[in-house]
Amino acid sequence: MLVRTLDEIRGTDREVFAENRNWVSARLLLKDDGMGFSFHETTIFANTETRIWYKNHLEAVYCVEGEGEVETIADGKIYPLKPGTMYALNDHDEHYLRAFSELRLVCAFNPALAGREVHLPDGSYPLEGKS
Ligand code: 9YT
């Protein structure tokens, strides 16, 4: 069985900051753990907007803390985020993620991230790469 805590991850290779410092991701499970998905706790810092397009991945996100919104770019729809809300990017939806206060999100990626991926200029993560 695998057991990890956030305290163990802080300050290690499994803690990944966005290049623009909009978020930090604690990568609790990664590809090498063999679960078929990766599993992260992501903190999105307050008053940030991040453009995201996971064209190579599916992601489900569950909000446990904070207030924000997701705007899907194709249709301009706004989805409020608050504790207890889940959204799933089942259509590889390109979107803006906005944090009005610090958001604490639990995220699962399929296929699993391999390590220290950060967003490419188009808002995606590479399929196999470690950046
Ligand atoms: C919700 C979202 O996609 N935020 C960006 C970071 C990502 N969740 C990650 O790598 O943990």
SS (H, E, C) 77-121: CEEEECCCCEEECCCCCCEEEEECCCEEEEEEEECCCCCCCCCCC
Residue 32 CA to residue 102 CA, distance in Å, equals 30
How confident is the model over 10-19, as pLDDT tens digits? Answer: 999 999 999 9
Hunting for tokens 């990664």 — which residue is that? 30
pTM, rounded to two decimals? 0.93
pLDDT value at residue 130: 45
Helix (H) or strand (E) holding 7: helix 6-9
Domain 15-109 has CATH 2.60.120.10: yes
Q: Where are the domains of the chain?
A: 15-109
Q: How many A from CA of 52 to the centre of ligand 1?
A: 9
Buried b (16+ CB within 10 A) or exposed e, 8-23: ebeeeebebebeeebb
- CA proximity to 43, closest of 3, 4, 97: 97
Residue 106 CA to residue 41 CA, distance in Å, equals 5
pLDDT value at residue 119: 85
pLDDT value at residue 105: 98
Cβ(48) to ligand 1 under 6 A? Answer: no
- CA proximity to 122, closest of 79, 87, 73: 73
Cβ(40) to ligand 1 under 6 A? Answer: yes
Q: Which protein residue has the closest C-alpha to ligand 1 atom 9?
A: 25
Q: For the chain, which ranges sit under pLDDT 70?
A: 129-131
pLDDT value at residue 120: 87
